[in-house]
Chains A and B, each alone.
Chain A
Amino acid sequence: MIRSLFLIYGLAVLATLSVAEYRGWSLDSVDEVKNVPRSVRDNPGSYRSVYGYYHHYTGGK
């Protein structure tokens, strides 16, 4: 019973891995934004990134 369950589980792990690699899944997170106007190409400053005005690290030791 446990062996059968583990066999199914292991095959599922490999199948998921295969799909992840083929479809290009990633562990990095990005925001997806829809309907960005074409005018951005002519006026890049009109686009406001959600990552703008980030409080930056200014350190060093």
Chain B
Amino acid sequence: MSTSGPNPPGPPQVKSLNCPGCGAALTLRSLSQAVTVVCDHCHSILDAQDPRLTILQKFKAAVDEDPPLIPLGTRGKIRGTDYEAVGFQRRTIHVDGVPYSWHEYVLFNPYKGFRYLTEYNGHWNDVSILRSLPDVSPGSSSLAYLGETYKHFQTANAATTFVLGEFPWQVRVGEPADVSDYVSPPRVISSEKTGKEVTWSMGEYIAGRDIWKAFQLQGEPPVPIGVYENQPSPLTANVKAVWTLVGMFLVLLLVLLIGVYSMAHEEQVFEQSFEFNTNTPGEASFVTDIFELKGHTSDVELATNAQLDNRWIYLNYALINQDTGHAYDFGREISYYHGYDEDGSWSEGGTRDSVALPSVPPGNYYLRIEPESDPSRGTIYYTVTLRRDVPQASFFGLAVLALLLPAGLLTWRSLNFEHLRWAESDYGGAPDDGSLLNTGENVVDSFKGSTSGDDE
């Protein structure tokens, strides 16, 4: 904002004049407050302080080259105060030869003075002039204002490329200014240097729909494109809260883990050793004695220990309810091989196996076991053990994953939002460079800054 601030307020007045360039009627809405006024017919910039309206500059532009989204003369309520849109300008910077333009609206209230709105790609800021200087440390890439740190985002040379209406400063098309932005979402502090004069202003991000509502504009506001420099992240503020909840849930999970393991019966209901003579042909299957599963429906862990040495054994198991005929049918293979080769010793497999049968109701059961192995290889000794109500640690692992994954995803999306923000800064790379965090320090700092503030 290139202004030195409003003069003392006066009563609301509207004055009609004629353009000395084309004779078209002019309306002065801010009267003595206006320094320059632009004829929207012939695009003459006139000296509003001069009763003769001396022409200061004429610029070429189509009549409807850049119509303001908020028509001049429209009134709306910003932060409880009525303002009228009295001026409009387009400003342009060039980055790597590419022009980027944004729009600035001059708002006027005869008692409150001037206020500004800026718009870029559907992103709006409510801007006012700072009355005190921010604390800028020499050589630092940040500044402090009212206890808040703002990080430097971008410095560029901006030129005014289109103007309409009234301005409380000597506006000129083509006038350059060195513009620097420092961000602390949702706020941005900007400095504008024209000649020896530096003006500081603060903008606060405001949703387009709020502008439309305030000025009762027709239609819908432009859909915001991309992430703007001081746009508050819709996700980042929730990251800290979600991770706090994750921590709370992990503590509860630990309590649950201790509770489950301390209350689980892990009751051994059956154990017996068997031998399988592979030299004996014929039917190998057999059944065990009946044993009782007590208590509530629970899992049953069946563990097999086999004495194997470069051999395998496959066991067809069926846990059969003697009373109902309901059976749990499964097969387990155990193999253990070891030896030496040119790489040294090796081993494969093991001699122990366990399986958890899900949700087995109480009752009287027996096991049908049918062993298989290579024939004529002697006797294999193995022991079968059954325990009921055995805690399943895998579920706790899954629960930890289930809690961490959404929080991780939220954090990733939040960091990605910051990446997109800083990709547009003087420090960021192109957003499509495939690197999520190439803006490293700024992204992490923004993330910390956002999460250390409000939680909602």
A interacts with B:
yes
Is A6 within 8 A of B407, CB to CB? Answer: yes
B389-442 at interface with A (beta carbon < 8 Å) = 389, 391-392, 394-396, 398-399, 402-403, 406-407, 410
Residues of A contacting B358 in the complex (Cβ-Cβ under 8 angstroms): 24-26, 28, 30
Residues of B contacting A22 in the complex (Cβ-Cβ under 8 angstroms): 296, 298
Which of B335, B370, B410 makes the CB contact (< 8 A) with A2? B410
B241 closest partner in A (C-beta)? A3
B360 nearest CB across to chain A (Å): 7
Is B333 within 8 A of A34, CB to CB? Answer: no
Residues of B contacting A47 in the complex (Cβ-Cβ under 8 angstroms): 285, 318, 368
B340 nearest CB across to chain A (Å): 10
Which of B296, B298, B318 makes the CB contact (< 8 A) with A36? B318
Which of B316, B333, B410 makes the CB contact (< 8 A) with A57? B333
Is A25 within 8 A of B392, CB to CB? Answer: yes
B381 in the interface, Cβ–Cβ < 8 Å?
no
Query: Are A51 and B331 CB-contacts (below 8 A) given A14-B253, A61-B346?
Result: yes
Question: How far apart sit A23 and B410, CA to CA, in the bound complex (Å)?
Answer: 32
Which of B242, B283, B300, B331 makes the CB contact (< 8 A) with A6? B242
A39 nearest CB across to chain B (Å): 10
Residues of B contacting A18 in the complex (Cβ-Cβ under 8 angstroms): 256
Is A60 within 8 A of B310, CB to CB? Answer: yes
A41 nearest CB across to chain B (Å): 5
Is A33 within 8 A of B326, CB to CB? Answer: yes
A1-30 at interface with B (beta carbon < 8 Å) = 2-3, 6-7, 9-10, 13-14, 16-18, 20-30
Question: How far apart sit A58 and B366, CA to CA, in the bound complex (Å)?
Answer: 30
Is A27 within 8 A of B285, CB to CB? Answer: no
Residues of A contacting B357 in the complex (Cβ-Cβ under 8 angstroms): 26, 28, 30
Is A14 within 8 A of B249, CB to CB? Answer: yes
Residues of A contacting B260 in the complex (Cβ-Cβ under 8 angstroms): 21
Is B399 within 8 A of A6, CB to CB? Answer: no
Query: Contact mask B346-377 → A, CB, 8 Å, 1/0?
Result: 10100000011111100000101010111000
Is B325 within 8 A of A38, CB to CB? Answer: yes
B304 nearest CB across to chain A (Å): 13
A47 nearest CB across to chain B (Å): 6
Residues of B contacting A34 in the complex (Cβ-Cβ under 8 angstroms): 325-327
Residues of A contacting B355 in the complex (Cβ-Cβ under 8 angstroms): 28, 30
Is A17 within 8 A of B399, CB to CB? Answer: yes
B252 in the interface, Cβ–Cβ < 8 Å?
yes
Question: How far apart sit A6 and B240, CA to CA, in the bound complex (Å)?
Answer: 12
B291 in the interface, Cβ–Cβ < 8 Å?
no
B337 in the interface, Cβ–Cβ < 8 Å?
yes
B261 closest partner in A (C-beta)? A21
A12 closest partner in B (C-beta)? B402
B204 in the interface, Cβ–Cβ < 8 Å?
no
Is B396 within 8 A of A17, CB to CB? Answer: yes
Query: Are A21 and B392 CB-contacts (below 8 A) given A6-B242, A61-B339?
Result: yes
Question: How far apart sit A24 and B266, CA to CA, in the bound complex (Å)?
Answer: 11
A41 closest partner in B (C-beta)? B287
Is B245 within 8 A of A24, CB to CB? Answer: no
B119-138 at interface with A (beta carbon < 8 Å) = none
B66 in the interface, Cβ–Cβ < 8 Å?
no
A7 nearest CB across to chain B (Å): 6
- Most chain A CB within 10 A, of B249, B322, B391, is at B249
A1 nearest CB across to chain B (Å): 8
Question: How far apart sit A61 and B238, CA to CA, in the bound complex (Å)?
Answer: 53
Is A25 within 8 A of B337, CB to CB? Answer: no
Query: Are A32 and B326 CB-contacts (below 8 A) given A21-B260, A44-B286?
Result: yes
Please name 11 further chain A to chain B contacts, defined as beta carbons within 8 Å, in addition to the given A14-B252, A21-B395, A58-B374, sorted by A numbering: A6-B406, A6-B407, A9-B406, A13-B402, A17-B395, A23-B359, A26-B356, A27-B392, A44-B286, A47-B285, A47-B318
23 interchain pairs, CB-CB under 8 A = A6-B245, A10-B245, A10-B403, A13-B399, A13-B403, A21-B256, A21-B264, A24-B298, A24-B300, A25-B395, A26-B357, A28-B330, A32-B326, A33-B328, A36-B327, A38-B322, A38-B325, A49-B318, A49-B368, A49-B370, A51-B329, A58-B374, A61-B348
Chain A residues engaging chain B, CB cutoff 8 angstroms: 2-3, 6-7, 9-10, 13-14, 16-18, 20-38, 40-41, 44-45, 47, 49-52, 54, 56-61
